[in-house]
């Protein structure tokens, strides 16, 4: 069932106009409802992996392919997180009650790769959701806020690769609240770095050295921290290199750490 859908979506990735039709056809045939019902009936809280790809806090991953990921996300109605998407994604809303879409835009001068808590959103427009899939393109710097009187589902087709982080905004102030890793793979890499440092596991040093050059600044920093706990000399060498990292957060963190190390030296 999902294998057929994966092949259909893969074939349509170069024809974005056909992707929406593929998602709508998938929902209209009842296959999505059938999959969710089957997984719900088989779900056990103590199962190590109750669904394909695992269950996230608010999403059910359906397909994780090389060039895209498909998931069903549960929205509370009104009040969910306001986020800049981590990747270009096509969203199909599945709801019984009417849905309103409020769009916000972040200032064009803001660098989305460098989190800035002073950045804020401004309301762009409001409109009723018509049932057609909506493209949320990261380059547009627009946040889509779907609102309804009751919980609803979003079928989300996210194109790979995703960027290193996405921003979450506070609903009351519309200011940037905190950054989140935009990739499940990157989140796993960060967790892995912390795990091998806590064990500690020196055999993981070659892997950590490789991750110290990762495209995501969050993964790079986690690897450098882990290396410092396993091998102080190598960790200091990487800190000195990180003091010139292209990402300002890494530069600042490395310089602070080197300053502390210098102050602690006999």
The rounded distance, in Å, linking the Cα atoms of 226 and 241 is: 15
**Is residue 135 within 8 Å of residue 122, measured between CB atoms?**
no
Indicate the fold that domain 2-180 takes in CATH.
Jelly Rolls (2.60.120)
Residue of higher predicted confidence among 182 and 258: 258
| DSSP single-letter state for residue 215 | S
**Is residue 165 within 8 Å of residue 86, measured between CB atoms?**
yes
List the domain boundaries for the chain. 2-180, 185-264
* Residue of 81, 54, 99, 255 lying closest to 180 (CA atoms): 81
Residue 46 has pLDDT above 60, yes or no: no
1-29 b/e (C-beta count within 10 Å ≥ 16 → b)? eeeebbebbeebeeeeeebbebbeebeee
| Average of per-residue pLDDT across 183-197 | 79
* Residue of 129, 171, 123 lying closest to 148 (CA atoms): 129
Name the helix (H) or strand (E) containing 165: strand 165-169
User: The pTM is what?
Assistant: 0.73
Q: Provide the pLDDT for residue 80.
A: 79
**Over the stretch 138-155, which tens digit does the pLDDT of each residue have?**
889 999 999 999 988 999
């Amino acid at each position: 069932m999902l294998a057929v859908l994966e092949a259909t979506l893969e074939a349509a990735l170069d024809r974005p106009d056909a992707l929406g039709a593929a998602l709508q056809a998938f929902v209209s045939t009842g296959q999505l409802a059938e999959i969710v019902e089957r997984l719900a009936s088989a779900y056990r809280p103590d199962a190590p992996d109750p669904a394909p790809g695992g269950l996230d806090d608010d999403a059910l991953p359906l397909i994780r392919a090389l060039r895209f990921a498909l998931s069903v996300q549960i929205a509370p109605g009104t009040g969910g997180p306001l986020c800049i998407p981590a990747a270009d994604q096509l969203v199909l809303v599945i709801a019984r009650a009417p849905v309103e879409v409020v769009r916000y835009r972040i200032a064009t001068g803001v660098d989305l790769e460098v989190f800035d808590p002073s950045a804020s959103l401004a309301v762009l427009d409001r409109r009723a959701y018509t049932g057609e899939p909506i493209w949320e393109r990261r380059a547009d710097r627009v946040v889509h806020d779907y609102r309804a009187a009751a919980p609803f589902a979003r079928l989300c087709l996210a194109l790979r690769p995703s960027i290193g982080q996405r921003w979450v905004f506070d609903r009351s102030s519309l200011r940037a609240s905190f950054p989140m890793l935009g990739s499940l793979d990157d989140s796993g890499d960060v967790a892995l770095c912390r795990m091998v440092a806590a064990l500690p596991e020196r055999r993981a040093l070659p892997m950590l050295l490789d991750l110290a050059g990762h495209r995501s600044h969050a993964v790079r920093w986690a690897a450098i921290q882990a290396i410092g706990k396993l091998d102080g000399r190598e960790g200091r060498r990487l800190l000195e290199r990180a003091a010139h990292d292209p990402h300002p957060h890494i530069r600042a963190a490395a310089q602070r750490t080197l300053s502390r190390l210098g102050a602690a030296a006999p």
